[in-house]
Amino acid sequence: MNGIQDGVAVVTGGGSGIGRQSSLRFAEAGAKVVVADVDEDGGHETIEMIESNGGEATFVRTDVTDSDDVDAMVQTALDEYGGLDFAHNNAGIADEGTRLAEYDEAEWDRMIDVNLKGVWRCLKAEIPEMIERGGGAVVNTSSVAGVSANGSAHYAASKHGVIGLTRRATVDYAEDGIRFNAVCPGVIDTPMVQQAGEDNTEEMDRITAAIPAGRLGDPEEIADAVVWLCSEEASYVMGQPIIIDGGLLVQ
């Protein structure tokens, strides 16, 4: 894909689901990929998939709630491949939640620490290296819950915050040649969603029936958008939350 060839990308949450497919798509487009995840087995599986297709990638165990881990992730890109051009800050968690006033404070803090502050930690480490490189492109994973009242309160708050970070980063660093956008997936067929479906098949059937497309999204469909947003073909797309939800929110 235009502008991706020979670049260097980091992908958090790259051990499964959307992050895995994003890593694969970057590699297919010719980038060298640093796959980051707390799941070491999943991360190494992603590396094997990339290498079996002729791509080049490195795994680094990364907990996005740990600034040292995040710094080490970016340093791996520098040490292994000489720089950093693209980032997909995708790592996140979700749970069923409850009503806003009924959360335990530790539950609230955990969601914000991973989904929102984790993205901020990644940006904080990535941006200086992209400035040094002369520019770059970043995609942060938000959610349809980031542009609506879907999802639990702490999840929605975290994902709204990701869009806020994306927009502010655009204003702060456009002059440095760095573009920032966010993807807002709907209900995607990932291990997280599969587990939820196994726990409550009736609810999953209800959700699927409410999607105009009539199905769950494929992780590949989100990954394609991520890599396109990082390409030169999207050079005038900046600070945007891109909704990819099979028409869920148009109703």
Q: What is the pLDDT of residue 196?
A: 61
173 is catalytic: no
Catalytic residue among 81, 103, 155, 173: 155
With b meaning 16 or more CB within 10 Å and e meaning fewer, what string describes 107-131?
Answer: ebeebbebbbbbbbbbbebbbebbe
Residue showing tokens 């040292």: 68
Cβ atoms < 10 Å from Cβ of 145: 21
Q: Tell me the three state secondary structure of residue 109.
A: helix
Q: What is the DSSP string of 32-46?
A: EEEEEES-HHHHHHH
pLDDT in tens, the chain (251 residues): 468 999 999 999 999 999 999 999 999 999 999 999 999 999 999 999 999 999 999 999 999 999 999 999 999 999 999 999 999 999 999 987 789 999 999 999 999 999 999 999 999 999 999 999 999 999 999 999 999 998 899 999 999 999 999 999 999 999 999 999 999 999 999 887 777 656 678 878 888 999 999 999 999 999 999 999 999 999 999 999 999 999 999 98
What domains sit in the chain, N to C, each tagged with a CATH number?
A: 8-189+218-242 (3.40.50.720)
Tell me the three state secondary structure of residue 206: helix
| Nearest residue to 226 (alpha-carbon basis) of 10, 26, 13, 14 | 26
Q: Crossing angle, helix 153-173 and helix 118-133, to 10 degrees?
A: 20
Distance, CA of 27 to CA of 179 (rounded, Å): 20
180: phi > 0 → left, psi -120 to 50 → alpha, else beta; which?
beta
Angle between helices 191-199 and 201-209 (to 10 degrees): 120
Q: For the chain, list the strands marked E by DSSP.
A: 8-12, 32-37, 57-61, 86-89, 136-141, 178-185, 241-244
